[in-house]
Chains A and B, each alone.
Chain A
Amino acid sequence: MPDIEFNEEDVLTRASEGDRDAFGLLYERYIDRIFNYVYYRTGNLHDAEDLTARVFQRAMNHIQNYTDRGVPFSAWLYRIAHNLVANWHRDRSRRQEIPINDVPVLPSKGDHPERNLVRSQEQDALLRLIRRLPGERQNLLILKFVENMSNAEIGAIMGRSEGAVKSLYHRTLLALRDQLGDQSINLDNE
């Protein structure tokens, strides 16, 4: 849908008045982003689908409560997703291992097949390390790299200041670097 025709404020007003078509526009706009977030946090397609549906159902049922106080609608949606994912993790007594095969690892053009294989194994190892990080650090990395958000945008979603996000990001990189030292992933060759 072209952005020119999409006036989010107007669509939000209509959606909060119970206009399902308006909510459908919001759904079309945010489905990919919310799905990506939930998918990387849960690690499997089935739960990602179920939780994504629940995010939008909850948003639809409570959209009249959404008021724009400097927090964009996307941040509100991500907070719903964050709460549902947190409940999902809480419901499981032991942490599940991410089924790596579900996550597409796309080879770059022109790369040698052997190089692709090594890269894929490295990515698998890195994903496992990311999955072992605390939830808020996983959130941060997903929002930063999958959703391409700035520290300020991430802060709005996580309820932290931009500086706090920056600091958390630095600590996360340090932790990853230390853990990568135990793995066969080579940082020096990059």
Chain B
Amino acid sequence: MWKSRTTLSEDQINALEAHLAGTLRPVTPPMDVVQRLRERIRFPQPEAIALRLRDWERMFFVFGGVMSGMLVLITVARALYYFFGKRHM
């Protein structure tokens, strides 16, 4: 009977809306879900870590720091070898 009509009566709209309102009810997310989501958002995600790695300025300083440190270590090692290594030869 309905299929032959292309319009909705006021009663049909009300009935449909009542059914929809009864079916599509707001749900409350479980507390453990909310807590897990909160933790996931508070801590850095892999994307954020990847973004940090793209920070060239920071990368430059880190690289420079590592190279300087290695240079100091090599210099100290050479000095030690110069002072103590030669005596045993």
Q: Which residues on A sit within 8 Å (CB–CB) of B26?
A: 32, 36, 146-147
Per-residue contact bits, chain A 30-60, to B (CB 8 Å; 1 contact, 0 not): 0110011001100001001100110011001
Nearest first, the 10 closest Cβ-Cβ pairs linking A and B are A145-B24, A190-B15, A187-B15, A35-B29, A123-B23, A126-B23, A53-B40, A181-B2, A146-B24, A49-B33
**B binding-site residues for A, Cβ under 8 Å:** 1-3, 6-8, 12-30, 33-34, 36-38, 40-42, 45, 47-48, 51
Residue pair B20, A141 in contact (C-beta under 8 Å): yes
Kindly state the separation between the CA atoms of A104 and B22 in the bound complex, as whole angstroms. Answer: 11
A39-B27, A176-B16, A177-B12 are contacts. A49–B6 as well, Cβ < 8 Å?
no
Residue pair A177, B2 in contact (C-beta under 8 Å): yes
Per-residue contact bits, chain A 20-31, to B (CB 8 Å; 1 contact, 0 not): 100110010001
Chain B, interface SS category: helix
Chain A, interface SS category: helix
The contact sample of 19 A-B pairs, CB cut-off 8 A, is A20-B42, A24-B42, A27-B41, A61-B47, A61-B48, A104-B27, A123-B22, A126-B19, A126-B23, A130-B24, A141-B24, A145-B21, A174-B7, A176-B16, A180-B16, A181-B3, A187-B16, A190-B14, A190-B19
Q: Which residue of chain A has its CB nearest to the CB of B30?
A: A45
